[in-house]
Structure 1
């Protein structure tokens, strides 16, 4: 088994006054040659944006971009004509494909929004840009994993142009679960939103993360009530 540990206080940090952003992987002004990506997972930013502020229109191509509001709401606009509000408990995915421009603003003029911005390298390049958004009931992740993103079309969750799965979990103290790879040559990246977990022999606390590859199964014990995001991705980029 191979593992990488990314502690919360080891992440890159940028404070732009209107934006506070923690970068798990190299991004913008933060560069760490040992933290470029985890398999197909390229970016995991933990952003807090002040009321009325946001990211103006900017381009992307050939990237799968997932946004998960943890607190507050985002207003999304893009060059396909979309104009949506992404609420807490929603998950949004955008396939940049052959090229798209978009903006993301705090939908509130007064309250901050905290959201995860996640990029995954695509399986197929230059596809037609696409957008999808879905609300998920948080009760459906109590003491179990709730899949919110999947490569399986018509699965009832958001579709991603990659052999990747995103799952959210909210577990009580004392609960146990086991993680296994979804497919051959896949890795699992667990990002702890809150609480405390023991993953194998590693103890994780709020905003810590662990990446696992070349493994068959690993046991997880919930030491304190915990919420986390689990991302399963291919480790080999072709």
Structure 2
């Protein structure tokens, strides 16, 4: 089964200059038919104008995984701090409790990042933070994984995050996992040049369906599916081998 949710179907929160597009129910936005997917409790497309972001706030018992699309994200927490550039991944294991902040590092054009909240295997773990720059090569790069196969570990066995850049006409088979949440980022060149104007003509083809920036495809037991790039696009895919 394949369910496509277009970018325009997402709910949106605008606060203190920030714009957040939610793939699932979040905060004041509640849809009982759309409260998560597999172990994903949240999946947010964050846009931070220069100097804006999230001041100190708490988390507990969640794996917070962020992929930086463009700009520069400054993270500070009780378990580690740093600045992440485009093509970087970070994982904050909130565990028994952590306080952190995330702000744009005064980047011209601001910062865009995609953040997921993943339900961990166990509660009350020791909090920790790790981040890595990622060199995307040909095909998929596993940037986070619950079994230690990715660049950063997450405390959720059977969950993994895969990222790939697709050139125009490039065909790529999706990760071979029974549950996939595939998010499209298109118009990367505009993003990296500081123009918050995704190319609506770019994206990927999934079968006969064209997916553009901000669209999501949720796949259940659709092994062997492939996508084809249309213009400059990136796929950010969460995979799960259990509900």
Same structural fold, with TM-score higher than 0.5 when normalized by the shorter chain: yes
Contact 1:47 1:116 in 2 (8 A): yes
Q: Structure 1, residues 211-236: CA drift from partner, whole Å, max 9, x if none?
A: 00123321322333321111102452
Q: Which has the higher strand share?
A: 1
Q: Which runs of 5+ in 2 are unaligned?
A: 187-201
Residue correspondences, number: 227
TM-score by length of 2: 0.86
Q: Structure 1, residues 45-102: CA drift from partner, whole Å, max 9, x if none?
A: 111112222211111111110111211111111123x221122221100111111111
The match for 1:115 is: 113
The reply on whether 1:225 has 2:225 as its aligned counterpart is no
Which of 203, 206, 210 is residue 210 of structure 2 equivalent to? Answer: 203
Counterparts of 1:9-24 in structure 2, within 5 Å, are: 9-24=8-23
The reply on whether 1:157 has 2:155 as its aligned counterpart is no
Q: 1:180 deviation in Å?
A: 4.6
Counterparts of 1:78-157 in structure 2, within 5 Å, are: 78-80=77-79, 82-108=80-106, 111-138=109-136, 140=137, 142=138, 144-153=139-148, 155=149, 157=151
Contact 2:131 2:152 in 1 (8 A): yes
RMSD: 1.8
Q: Which runs of 5+ in 1 are unaligned?
A: none
The reply on whether 1:73 has 2:78 as its aligned counterpart is no
Residue 174 of structure 1 aligns to a residue whose secondary structure is coil
Provide the C-alpha distance between the structure 1 equivalents of 2:107 and 2:162, rounded to a whole number of angstroms.
Answer: 31
